[in-house]
Amino acid sequence: GTTVSTVTPTPSSTVPSGPVHDATAVHTGEPWAGSKPYELLIGALGVLLMAVGEHKRRRAKQRAVAPRS
């Protein structure tokens, strides 16, 4: 016949049941948690670049329309 034996693994180390006191930050599980300042900085940089580009476009358009003397 067939012999079936079950082996119950024993843990090699104990798992602490309380909080880790040396942890520096709580991980919320969200991939971008804590990145709000960086998001705002990148957004502001994008708006600034768009404003500079629009300003340059308007100046170039004015130069093209301005009468030459």
Q: Rounded distance, CA 40 to CA 33, Å? A: 13
Q: pLDDT tens for the chain, 69 residues: list them.
A: 677 777 776 666 666 677 767 767 666 777 777 889 999 999 999 999 999 999 999 999 998 887 766
Q: Rounded distance, CA 31 to CA 28, Å? A: 8
Q: What is the pLDDT of residue 46?
A: 98
Please state the pTM of the whole predicted model: 0.51
